[in-house]
Amino acid sequence: MCAMKGLNRRQFLASSTLVTGAALLPWSFTSRAAAVAVSTTGGTPHKGGVLRISVDQAVTMLNPQQARVNPEYLVAELLYSGLTRLTQEMKAEADLAQSWQSSTDLKQWTFTLRPGLRFSDGSPLTSADVVASLQAILDPKNASPGQHNIGPIKTVSAADASTVVIETDVPYADLPVMLTYPVAKVIPVSIATGDLTRLNKEALGAGPFKLVSYDPERKIVVERNPHYYDPQRPYIDGVEVVVYPDGIAESSALIAGDTDLMLSAQASEFSRLTKSPDIQPLRVSSGQFLNINMGCDQKPFNDPRVRQALALCVDRQATVDFVANGFGTAGEDNPVNSAYPYFAALAKKAVDYSKAKALLAQAGYPNGLDLKLIASDKPSTRTQLGIALREMAKPGGFRIEVQTMAHSTYLDQVWKKNNFYVGFYNMQPTPDAVFSLLYTSSAAWNETRWNNADFDAAVSAARETADPAQRAGLYGKAQQLMYDEVPSLIPTFFDLLAASRDYVAGYHLHPRGAVFRLDHVWLTDKAPKRAV
């Protein structure tokens, strides 16, 4: 068991109940899942059967270019395709595009489409559809989440019916990977340039499945698309996406055999699923993380010594045990972990209260520091991290008040405005994506306002470099700067958890969390026989 320095487990749990409105989950050190497989097996794939997959919230957005949450990303992926798709190793692979190449300056990319592509109604899919689709995503008036997430695209054009040319504002080595973004789906040009609201109630894509019925609060049914470009896939005849807002009920449905696969499992339910017969628990290391954002342009966090002192108070493994129920890995104040390419393995940070107090004194706080930390109530792990930090930081001279508020209020009053609050972020497809989303001076969500010129330069140079060794060095420098200067505390990365019946084969839980690849799934002979 990993105990916090200066505070035993009993004291920690007792003091943690004092936060008003804080829901404290049980401290868990169960680690059976550490040996759990991250994918199912089942021999040679074969066709047939219907997969019933449960999700924990309604699929209220059917338009693939407007999807916002994982269940909506799932349905978009079933019904639509993009130019590229993301592999388990976080690399781009062919989807509608069979190949691509860039100019030497990495500012012009040419994508060649597969021959004979068709939408699910049998109509041809050409470069005109791709161009119109990407332009619709980039059009500010459509407010697609992909507008700022598919790369610094300047123009999109069609060289001929099977060739798409994309020009970027700056050299950009990651474009094929960023085009795997979950909303970067191709729709017919007639819809992309016409009435996009049609996609709120109907689906016309080139994905592995086509829509049968859509009841957003209850169930979405799809069946195999006969016009899909790969005649071998999908292996299953169809998919039923069933909505279970209650996590316990969702787990019970899987155990009872009413569903076949859970999109995600709560940590509190994962142990129960692991112990259930005929259930395959699924777990994968991910770059999803909680952090403590500090406004580096405001006192006291404009002094890096204050941020460094706080970092020296954090027992990182104890934080994983408490906040992630042991289903995670420790972080070193760097948003890139081992699930990403170009991860730099830096020295593990250790608790040092004497040094923390000395740094605070040097920063002008010899008697310690009083702070108020804001946490949204969703997910509840935000408050748990706040509680953990409050107790850990006391011996270092920090007196932290933790305030929990409704998520809607947090988004309106705190997010990107306050100078000390708990953030929560999903894994991004590349290091550049997470750095450019959160930590560069021009980041879309520049919450810390760190604005470090050396960091910006390293990230920019890596973005414009194709050589892997050079990119590794540049990203290593960026990670070292974050490690040293601590614009935000990142003590915890979460493993992603899910579960399936043991007859579900070929499913790999993806570290990105928003990628599912159900066209590679099949059902073994043990599966119940059912039709769409």
Residues 206/119, Cβ–Cβ less than 8 Å: yes
- Rounded to a whole number, what is the distance in angstroms from the first to the last CA of the chain? 49
pLDDT at 485: 98
What pLDDT, in 10s, does the model give residues 309-351? Answer: 999 999 999 999 999 999 999 999 999 999 999 999 999 999 9
401 bridge partner residues: 372
**What is the C-alpha separation between 175 and 514, in angstroms, rounded?**
18
**What is the C-alpha separation between 337 and 475, in angstroms, rounded?**
12
pLDDT at 7: 40
What pLDDT band is residue 40 in, cutting at 50, 70 and 90? low
Tokens of 404: 């929990």
What pLDDT, in 10s, does the model give residues 191-226? Answer: 999 999 999 999 999 999 999 999 999 999 999 999
**What is the C-alpha separation between 38 and 54, in angstroms, rounded?**
18
What pLDDT band is residue 407 in, cutting at 50, 70 and 90? confident
**What is the C-alpha separation between 211 and 223, in angstroms, rounded?**
7
* Whole-number Cα distances in Å, 300 to 101, 334, 483, 491: 48, 21, 19, 21
| Res 177 pLDDT > 50 | yes
User: Could you tell me which CATH class the domain 285-494 is placed in?
Assistant: alpha beta
| Res 23 pLDDT > 70 | no
Ramachandran area for residue 178 (φ above 0: left; ψ -120 to 50: alpha; else beta): alpha
Per DSSP, helices labelled H in 54-201 are 70-79, 127-138, 175-178, 189-192
CATH topology of domain 50-278+502-520: D-Maltodextrin-Binding Protein; domain 2 (3.40.190)
**What is the C-alpha separation between 219 and 59, in angstroms, rounded?**
9
* Whole-number Cα distances in Å, 97 to 154, 193, 477: 20, 22, 34
Q: How many CB atoms lie within 10 A of CB 528?
A: 12
**Domain-by-domain residue ranges, the chain?**
50-278+502-520, 285-494
pLDDT at 432: 94
| Res 54 pLDDT > 90 | yes
